[in-house]
Amino acid sequence: MTDLLQLILSGVALGMIYALLAFGYNITFSTSRTINFAQGEFLMLGALTGLTAAVTWKLGYAGALFAAAIVGCLLGVVLEKAAIAPALKTRSAVSWILATVALGIIARNAAERIWGTDDARFPAPLGDDPLTFLGVRVLPQELLVIGAAALIMSGVELFRRKSIWGKAVTAVAADKDAAALMGINVPLVITFSFVLSSAIAAVSGVLVAPLTLAGATMGTLLGTKAYAVAIVGGLQSGLGVLVGGLLLGLSEQFTARYVSTGYKDTPGFVLLIFILLVKPSGLFGKKSIKKV
Amino acid sequence: MRTVSKRVFSLLAAALLAAPAFAADPIKIGVYGPFSGGSSPMGLSMRNGVRLAADEINAKGGVLGRKIELVDRDDQAVNERGAQVMQDLVSNEKVSAVLGPINTGVALASYKYPMEAKVPLLINVSAGAPVNELFKDYPDNYVFRLAAGDPIQAEMIVSEGVDKRKFKKVAVLCDDTNYGQNGRQKMEDALAARKVTPVYIGKFKIKDTDMTPQLQEARKAGAEAILTYGIGPELAQLANGMQKLGWKVPMIGSWTLSMSNFIDAAGPNGDGATMPQTFIQAGASTAKAKQFIADYQKKFTVERIPSAVAAAQGYDSMYVLAQAIEQAGGTEGPKIKASLEDLKKPYAGVIATWAKPFSKTDHEAIHREHVVMGVVGKGEVLPPAK
């Protein structure tokens, strides 16, 4: 029983990481119908910036989070201006994909130049000694990741639903032209969505690095898996990415434990293909009507 | 137009005439390995060891009066990339010999190019690459190794766990690369020879960060020790995962448990990890070895060599190769190969004194007596307790 609980717990922690990154895809997709394929690399840049802030500049974990958030915001602005805005202007369906992928490669190469190619240990703010609940051992950092992810996601959802700014974002998501007619500055809202999504990615980097080690290649696989999560859950739905993340995290752990460690990633991706076949908009996605 | 081509022609002629003046063109030696990614502590240490040796040789006048020029290429630990890099070294750079690589998969994907071009490949780190096994298909074998191969390492790991520490139940945990899976096979063979069946065999992927399922399974099976074959970052996740589960059993594994990225990322959780080593920085006893460490530290401004084994093997492999070229009196592949197989002058290296390290039928320089078991402790690899 404790074995099972232990497995569920580490699956949830893993799933929350995926969900948090996928949430970033969801934010930008809802406003601009584009996503940032460099999201995993932004997570990595956040983690490494945080590492420099926490270890080299001795600003502590809060300093690391803050530094990562700033870097994330800046990256978001650069990304939107350099890769997304030109593509939206020309209504090109592929150029933003290539541009964000390219930006990701640049980010990874730059990180290798600045921080080297090795994986470094990121000191965990609450220590490395596991806590015990009902015989289940859990690292404080895992709880922090689960808690912070839930907080960030519910915070953003609340903002989207309750605040005037959030409503502007929702309006742009629903109908850009109508939103523009209502006096909403659509390009600004889109830029804002990229800033928010990039900042979340960078902050997630600082959250997960104590569990995963920090290094220039840490984001690539996470970015891919988060993308699968976003597709499974539905790119349009905040709840969808949360469920998708948990589904993937738990399926990985359970397959590794009860089937074979070699097939760990299989169920998640089989599910991805299945969902694409039967419900392309994702588990919780609304059917999108493409207007030509 | 005509005047231009005339001028070009005369320039070319002048260049051709001038060529004999550079009689001592450098001897090109290819060096390839992962200089980025999770295997990079080994790749960079190996390259630095080779560089240190080459610089020393050049400072003393080079080989055959010619300077050694290293051509280094990053294979990124990617198999296909290793094949490309090797073709470039052999066909475009026309190197006289090649040193490297680190990763088994890279070695497997690339060894046939030097074999066909009759360019000696002296493997100085990869443990899983075939060497003497190649004689079957290539009687004229151009692959040599100065590193502890998997059969030696697997045997030592199993011997440490089963013979010395008397464990009856062991779990085997390896990564899913060519390296990890070759090692798993060799360890299973060595266990089978002792009539021991592992209670659990698990694997993990490069970049996996959560090893909970594998460790739970091993614990449930009642493992008293885990035997590993992987590289630094994932091995560290295993050590950290054991700490998380509150289940600590000895970790015994291939030499990669000495990598700096294992020791740093595992921190105190990695203490006690035991692995075969050809060279231990903290255990250097000969004057030559101490000098090597001091020179390395000075030249590359580090305290702890990220992978001392790779650095020492890199250094010795460069010297052994230089000695063979000197003895061959030229840089033709077959001549260098013949001298490697019959090295006349013993060379006192940092790992051992190499007197006839290779023969016509044995291309392995390192044997059981060159290897000891190192133990991780206090953030470095310590020599075995006397």
* Residue range A131-182, pLDDT digits in tens: 888 888 888 999 999 999 999 999 999 998 899 988 898 888 888 889 999 8
A221 and B37: CB-CB below 8 Å? no
The answer, for B215 touching chain A at a CB cutoff of 8 Å, is no
Q: Where a domain ends, among B227, B245, B277?
A: B277
User: For residue B339, is it within any domain?
Assistant: yes
Please tell me what DSSP assigns to residue B66: B
Q: Are residues B76 and B177 in the same domain?
A: no
B268: closest chain A residue by CA: A128
Strand order through the sheet with B143-145? B68-74, B27-33, B97-99, B121-123, B143-145
Distance, in Å, from the CA atom of A235 to the CA atom of A286, rounded to the nearest integer, reads: 9
Q: Are residues B168 and B114 in the same domain?
A: no
How close is the nearest chain B Cα to the Cα of A253, in Å? Answer: 6
The predicted-structure confidence for B317-345, as pLDDT tens digits, reads as follows 999 999 999 999 999 999 999 999 999 99
The three-state secondary structure class of B63 is strand
User: For residue B177, is it within any domain?
Assistant: yes
The three-state secondary structure class of A229 is helix
Who wins on pLDDT, A91 or B24? Answer: A91
* Residue A12, domain extent: 2-219
Of B36, B210, B246, the CB nearest to A117: B36
Q: Which two tokens stand for residue B25?
A: 């063109």
Distance, in Å, from the CA atom of A128 to the CA atom of A139, rounded to the nearest integer, reads: 7
User: For residue B48, is it within any domain?
Assistant: yes
User: For residue B11, is it within any domain?
Assistant: no
The answer to whether the bond into B139 is cis (omega within 30° of 0) is no
Task: Output the pLDDT for position B12.
Answer: 54
Q: Is B10 exposed, middle or buried (0-12, 13-18, 19+ CB in 10 A)?
A: exposed
Question: Which amino acid is present at B210?
Answer: D
Are the CB atoms for A162 and B271 separated by under 8 Å?
A: no
The three-state secondary structure class of A125 is coil
Q: Are residues B198 and B214 in the same domain?
A: yes
User: For residue A236, is it within any domain?
Assistant: no
Identify the CATH number of the domain in which residue B298 sits: 3.40.50.2300
Q: Are residues B164 and B133 in the same domain?
A: no
B265 and A256: CB-CB below 8 Å? no
B212 and A211: CB-CB below 8 Å? no
User: For residue A28, is it within any domain?
Assistant: yes
Distances (CA, A) of B94 to A134, B83, B323: 65, 15, 20
The predicted-structure confidence for A244-257, as pLDDT tens digits, reads as follows 999 999 999 999 88
Interface test with A, best of B42, B226, B237, B244 (most A CBs within 10 A): B244
Tally of domains within chain A? 1
Question: Which amino acid is present at B261?
Answer: N
pTM: 0.83
What ipTM was assigned to the predicted interfaces of this complex? 0.79
Q: How many CB atoms lie within 10 A of CB A11?
A: 24
Q: Are residues B297 and B350 in the same domain?
A: yes
Selection from B179, B181, B201 nearest residue B256 by Cα: B179
- A-facing residues of B in 32-61 (CB < 8 A) are 35-38, 40-41
Q: Are residues B126 and B173 in the same domain?
A: no
A213 and B216: CB-CB below 8 Å? no
Q: Are residues B230 and B213 in the same domain?
A: yes
The three-state secondary structure class of B271 is coil
Q: Where a domain ends, among B243, B277, B311?
A: B277
Selection from A142, A156, A126 nearest residue A30 by Cα: A156
Q: Are residues B167 and B107 in the same domain?
A: no
How close is the nearest chain A Cα to the Cα of B283, in Å? Answer: 25
The answer, for B246 touching chain A at a CB cutoff of 8 Å, is yes
Q: Where a domain ends, among B277, B297, B330?
A: B277
How close is the nearest chain A Cα to the Cα of B330, in Å? Answer: 38
Q: Are residues B265 and B208 in the same domain?
A: yes
Instruction: Give B-chain residues touching A211 at CB under 8 angstroms.
Output: 209-210
User: Average pLDDT of chain B?
Assistant: 91
A3 and B216: CB-CB below 8 Å? yes
B37 and A117: CB-CB below 8 Å? yes
Distance, in Å, from the CA atom of B102 to the CA atom of B43, rounded to the nearest integer, reads: 6
Task: Output the pLDDT for position B13.
Answer: 54
Q: Are residues B113 and B93 in the same domain?
A: yes
Distance, in Å, from the CA atom of B140 to the CA atom of A175, rounded to the nearest integer, reads: 72
Tally of domains within chain B? 2
A213 and B233: CB-CB below 8 Å? yes
Are the CB atoms for A265 and A30 separated by under 8 Å?
A: no
Q: Is B67 exposed, middle or buried (0-12, 13-18, 19+ CB in 10 A)?
A: middle
Task: Output the pLDDT for position B285.
Answer: 87
Distance, in Å, from the CA atom of A260 to the CA atom of A156, rounded to the nearest integer, reads: 37
* Residue B346, domain extent: 25-148+285-372
How close is the nearest chain B Cα to the Cα of A240, in Å? Answer: 24
Instruction: Give A-chain residues touching B240 at CB under 8 angstroms.
Output: 128
Are the CB atoms for B75 and B32 separated by under 8 Å?
A: yes
Q: Are residues B307 and B368 in the same domain?
A: yes
Residue B81: which residues within 8 A CB-CB, separation 6 or more? B75, B106
Instruction: Give B-chain residues touching A44 at CB under 8 angstroms.
Output: none
CA atoms B56, B61, B65, B68: torsion sign: positive
